[in-house]
Structure 1
Amino acid sequence: TTASCSRGSASDAAREQDAVVTMLPAGQHVRQVYLGDSGILKTAKAGTLFIDSSTIDVAAARDVHTAAKTAGVEFLDAPVSGGVGGASAGTLTFMVGGDEAAFGRAKPILEKMGKNIFHAGGAGTGQAAKICNNMLLAISMIGTCEAFVLAEKLGLSHETLFKISSTASGQCWSLTSYCPVPGPVPASPANRDYQPGFTASMMLKDLKLAQNAAQTSGASTPLGAQAAALYSMFEAAGAGGRDFSGIIQLLRGNPQA
């Protein structure tokens, strides 16, 4: 059986389950739910499989992995990518860190919710994959937005730039699947006044996680740092609830337009 949401404590809900999936806002919440005084690891039966699909810091994920092993249960960090649309369509991507045998148990469960299920490696590597991917996404989105802003100033239409760049070396997902200007990709949030599929504040959260990991590991990520600074400005301007592709409005000098 797999635990589902119900009234009562998380530990009560998870007590007799074979598998439990959690998704929480931040590392502190994951630590509390799993490792707190009433944490679910304290009451779980031996062999329970825990799958945490939160996006959190790598250190927190690895701490829970260690505690789970001590408690005689299995734990996987399995953050997701794909947003609200992917969740609704069952096409999410899961990036999973942890023991390969546990991954084998988890895969049929995750396949009910997602289309692409990747075993990233050992403890914490699911989180590592997620923050690296989203840092790359933020950088590519900002670059795509800058190209459109420059094109506007130079008299090049959105449609023309899209047609050229989508078949030339500038092609990327931020352009062809999530275009930050209305028109070329009808399903993109730009066509809905940047109503969010993935908010700017959520992107900023992931960028902060990436920057913290970069500082801890000694990795040089200057573009990631600049992306975090720009999304911080966008959020400070009151636009954190808009889609992350709306960062183009900040580059135009009118973040709340």
Structure 2
Amino acid sequence: MAIRSLLKLAESKFNFTSPRFPLPCSARTISSSSVPSHLERVGFIGLGNMGSRMANNLIKAGYNVAVHDINLSVIKMFSDKGISVKGSPMEVAEISDVVITMLPSPTHVLEVYTGSNGLLNGGNPVRPWLFIDSSTIDPQTTRKLSSAVSNSALIEHKDSWNTPVMLDAPVSGGVSAAETGTLTFMIGGLEEAYKAAEPLFSSMGKNTIYCGSSGTGSAAKICNNLAMAVSMLGVSEAFVLGQSLGIKAATLTKIFNSSSARCWSSDTYNPVPGVMGGVPSSRNYDGGFASALMAKDLNLASASAKEIGLNCPLTSEAKHIFTKLCDDGLGKKDFSCVFRNFYNGKDEL
């Protein structure tokens, strides 16, 4: 059942401000005395563009955070601000009530959980009562890990929890939402664990959507990214056709956004350089969501569809296009670069 007891914590607070990973002025500041005792000590593994900002918001909210990443320069930024850093996932788990992972691929997640210095401690009892994976991975891997977690033992029982549990909680919103603490979490796993962990999610995001049993959060995320990829391709293709027929992209954007073609790829994340400020297309497609990650997510969607015998032709075509971008050396560019680098679209002058 959900744990509702709140115990007053020490008066110590954390203030993490880094030139590279600044804390957003809009992040919610929560008194340390309001942090639930069952969530007090949080381990965070994976400090990339998304994870570093999510960890920052937890620190800002008053959680006692310990971090780990293989990127030593990022680790140094955290340690220089007085944040506890650990040399392995196992060391993080040894001092944490809850561990959150934000990693690039299923392979990385499996290594962090089940590797020789992994979170699950080689099958020995573990200290965290809750593991939350916010990586984008396939539902099959999520369910495998959830089973491994639930088959582990706790070093000591945590209130009503007799065994550790895992939630899959991938996110949507991108780097900007991670920085401002307005992410959307798609959550699968035991509903009681989700309810107990709600304060954590509200410290990093604006929306939490409970999807169902283990793996459903992961399934929701790959479906979301599939739709996002296809809509970006459709919008880019339409813009290029329009340019070829003599219509400016800015004009088409106004039409799309006031009619039935309106979507996130047109009104929020426009792929045409010169049409919209503050998006990757306005900065040579740097930052944002890498094409390599989109190709990876489309591979996950394709594999999941194949496993259940579902024909998904748009998934296959989208996977082919974003894989080609990666083969052409554009894997680190934002996925909206497909407008310029696959369709040969023109900048808006």
What CA distance in whole angstroms lies between the structure 2 residues aligned with 1:75 and 1:58?
Answer: 13
Unaligned runs of 5+ in 2: 1-40, 44-65, 68-84, 153-162
Residue 175 of structure 2: aligned partner: 84
Residue 141 of structure 2: aligned partner: 60
Q: CA deviation at 1:134?
A: 0.2
What CA distance in whole angstroms lies between the structure 2 residues aligned with 1:46 and 1:9?
Answer: 15
Given that 1:80 and 1:95 are in contact with CA atoms closer than 8 Å, whether structure 2 keeps it comes out as: yes
What pairs up with 1:70-109 in 2 under 5 angstroms? 70-71=151-152, 72-109=163-200
Residue 22 of structure 1: aligned partner: 101
Residue 225 of structure 1: aligned partner: 316
Which residue of 36, 41, 51 corresponds with 2:115?
36
Given that 1:149 and 1:251 are in contact with CA atoms closer than 8 Å, whether structure 2 keeps it comes out as: no
Report the aligned-residue RMSD.
1.7
- After superposition, the C-alpha distances for 1:24-43 in whole angstroms (9 at most, x for unaligned) are 22212222222234332235
Identity of aligned residues (%): 43
- Normalising by structure 2, we get a TM-score of 0.70
3-state SS, counterpart of residue 197 of structure 1: coil
Given that 1:16 and 1:44 are in contact with CA atoms closer than 8 Å, whether structure 2 keeps it comes out as: no
3-state SS, counterpart of residue 135 of structure 2: coil
What CA distance in whole angstroms lies between the structure 2 residues aligned with 1:167 and 1:173?
Answer: 13
- After superposition, the C-alpha distances for 1:192-240 in whole angstroms (9 at most, x for unaligned) are 1111211111111111111011111112211111001000111111111
3-state SS, counterpart of residue 206 of structure 2: strand
Residue 286 of structure 2: aligned partner: 195
What pairs up with 1:1-257 in 2 under 5 angstroms? 1-3=41-43, 4-5=66-67, 6-42=85-121, 43=124, 45=126, 48-71=129-152, 72-253=163-344
Distance 1:145-1:44 versus aligned 2 partners, 3 A rule: farther
Pick which of 185-194 and 116-125 moved more. Answer: 185-194
Unaligned runs of 5+ in 1: none
Return the letter of the residue paired with 2:99: V
- Normalising by structure 1, we get a TM-score of 0.94
Q: CA deviation at 1:245?
A: 0.5
Return the letter of the residue paired with 1:33: V
Given that 2:95 and 2:127 are in contact with CA atoms closer than 8 Å, whether structure 1 keeps it comes out as: no
What CA distance in whole angstroms lies between the structure 1 residues aligned with 2:90 and 2:130?
Answer: 14
Pick which of 232-241 and 129-138 moved more. Answer: 232-241
